[in-house]
Amino acid sequence: MRHVAQTMGTVASIELPSEWASELNAVERIFREVERRFSLYLPGSELSMIADGRLSLSEASDSLLSSYSRALEWRTATGGNFSPHRPDGAIDLNGIVKAEAIEQAGAQLTAAGCPQWSINVGGDILVSPTSGATNVATSSSEPLRAGIADPHNPTALLCSLELRHPRRAIATSGSAQRGDHIWRGGSTEPAQFVQVSVVANDIVTADVLATAIVAGGQDALDGVSDRWDVDVITVDRLGALHATPGLQSSLVRAQIT
């Protein structure tokens, strides 16, 4: 069955066997808690109170401090291309907490014993560890096929690919849907890539690195390709599409154009 809900300013779609529908309540609680704590659009959220001085960072919850610390580690790892700070210095964890919510929701479903599931929040997708695994009883497998939107034509798909263990996550970042909203070290030049999709073994890595590549352009893409075991597909402002060798191979194997 598929369950669709509004969360964190976007749409969440969760697919799982109907007999596991009761687990949706726990998943929705995770999303609500993340929004309640981290949304800068909610005046009463914990992060909003830190932003306007009503709450000091030293008084923040362990959950917020953990996400902030994780974001700072990613800032260091990406040479600043990913950052938890806005240009004015305000803390903004939007670049990581959606992926963390997906991560937590997936862990909840797996811990509950749900055998097959997928979570799609605003186009960032994570599937269960067993997705694409062969069922011994039926000798079949059911990988999820994820579509990547064409940034120059919102009604069309750029391509699609299959998500299966261990490549269980895909995240897409860019300016096609929300404009140039990613901070790029003070640069006022248009971003080189209008869209970047990263396929990885976990959703946080995929989401953070997609953002980092949009922010840092070709240099960031080269660095990510050298340092992380991920696959990347980029679209530049002229519409040219480039994919790393691993992703090219997966597209060929899946007979996808």
Domain boundaries, the chain: 2-253
Please report where in the chains the tokens 């790393």 appear, as a residue.
244
Summarize the confidence of residues 114-136 as an average pLDDT: 84
Amino acid found at 252: V
Q: How confident is the model at residue 145 (pLDDT cuts 50, 70, 90)?
A: confident
Q: How confident is the model at residue 185 (pLDDT cuts 50, 70, 90)?
A: low
Q: What pLDDT was estimated at residue 140?
A: 43
Contact 107, 23 (CB under 8 A): no
What does the pLDDT look like over 146-180, one tens digit per residue? Answer: 889 899 887 888 888 889 889 999 999 987 655 55
Q: How far is CA 141 from CA 5, 130, 131, 182, 256, in A?
A: 28, 9, 7, 38, 18
CATH of 2-253, one of 3.90.1150.10, 3.10.520.10, 3.40.50.2000, 3.40.630.30: 3.10.520.10
The kind and range of the H/E element at 14 are: strand 10-15
What does the pLDDT look like over 38-84, one tens digit per residue? Answer: 999 999 999 999 999 999 999 999 999 999 999 999 999 999 999 99
Longest Cα–Cα distance of the chain, Å, equals 59
Judged against a pLDDT cut of 60, whether residue 186 lies above it is answered with no
Q: What pLDDT was estimated at residue 208?
A: 98
* DSSP 8-state assignment for residue 167: B
Residue-averaged pLDDT of the chain: 88
Judged against a pLDDT cut of 90, whether residue 32 lies above it is answered with yes
Contact 71, 211 (CB under 8 A): no
